[in-house]
Amino acid sequence: MDRKQHWEQVYSTKASDSVSWFQEHADQSLRLIHNTMLGKEAAIIDVGGGASRLVDDLVAEGYTDLTVIDLSAAALSVAQQRLGKCANSVHWLEGDITRTDFPARRFDIWHDRAVFHFLTDSADRHAYVERVMRAVRPGGHVIIATFAEDGPEKCSGLPVVRYQPESLHAEFGDAFQLVEHQKEAHHTPFGTVQQFVYCYCRKGNS
Ligand SMILES: C[S@@+](CC[C@H](N)C(=O)[O-])C[C@H]1O[C@@H](n2cnc3c(N)ncnc32)[C@H](O)[C@@H]1O
């Protein structure tokens, strides 16, 4: 089964609030987005957003330039149905983040929770970082959350790479400044705890 088939099956067979990564509100992500101090017209992309409710909260707060990309059409459909008419104000992209062509300097904020850690192949990580380099404007904001070094070894049955702030930042390189990092103990719907690390980086001005 390839990775798209895997995710289509997950979102076609499980309720979106019963998966291990479910959050009623993506509080840590929202805090970091607010901390950028950008206005509501900021161009924000949620990478591998799936059926996450982050987009609901950003729409409700009045953000006007939101993009959600995910491999799974089923995941995007869950989010669209939930948002109803508000879904029309969001750009939805179905695609693999390691293969999608983005316009240059399109986004002010790149957000990814629990997607980069699935890239166990260095060529995929390289392709991902190339896309961040191209699609995020100079001085833009990059928020990446992965399983921490003491987090689970698998997510959704797939192997992951676990990171410390320094090793996660190293994947992105010197073009990005690590501004802040934070651990989060995520409580899953079935009562277990998963350690995440959030890294907030600024892209250099060149
Ligand atoms: C663990 S879920 C996290 C979903 C969401 N970010 C959240 O925090 O609720 C991982 C998501 O990444 C998506 N995904 C996995 N690999 C991807 C890829 N290469 N390109 C785009 N999306 C991907 C999956 O379909 C799934 O929705």
Radius of gyration of the chain (CA): 16
pLDDT value, residue 77? 98
pLDDT value, residue 1? 74
Are the C-beta atoms of residues 50 and 79 closer than 8 Å to each other?
Answer: yes
| Average pLDDT, rounded, for the chain | 97
CA distance 193 to 184: 10
Which pairing describes strands 65-70 and 90-94: parallel, antiparallel, or unpaired?
parallel
Structure token pair of residue 35: 């901390």
Residue 26 CA, closest ligand 1 atom number: 8
Would the CB of 97 count as within 6 Å of ligand 1? yes
| Amino acid, single-letter form, for residue 202 | R
Which pairing describes strands 176-187 and 193-203: parallel, antiparallel, or unpaired?
antiparallel
CA distance 181 to 166: 9
User: Which residue, among 162, 174, 77, has the nearest Cα to 114 in the 3D structure?
Assistant: 162
Would the CB of 155 count as within 6 Å of ligand 1? yes
pLDDT band at 100 (very low <50, low <70, confident <90, very high): very high
Please state, for a pLDDT cut of 70, what percent of the chain lies above it.
100
Are the C-beta atoms of residues 148 and 201 closer than 8 Å to each other?
Answer: no
Would the CB of 70 count as within 6 Å of ligand 1? yes
Structure token pair of residue 87: 């879904």
34 CA distance to ligand 1 middle (Å): 22
Would the CB of 52 count as within 6 Å of ligand 1? yes
pLDDT tens figures, 157-200 = 999 999 999 999 999 999 999 999 999 999 999 999 999 999 99
CA distance 206 to 195: 34
Whether 66 has a pLDDT exceeding 80, the answer reads yes
pLDDT value, residue 106? 96
Would the CB of 67 count as within 6 Å of ligand 1? no
Q: What is the pTM of this model?
A: 0.98
User: Bridge-partner residues for 69, per DSSP?
Assistant: 47, 93
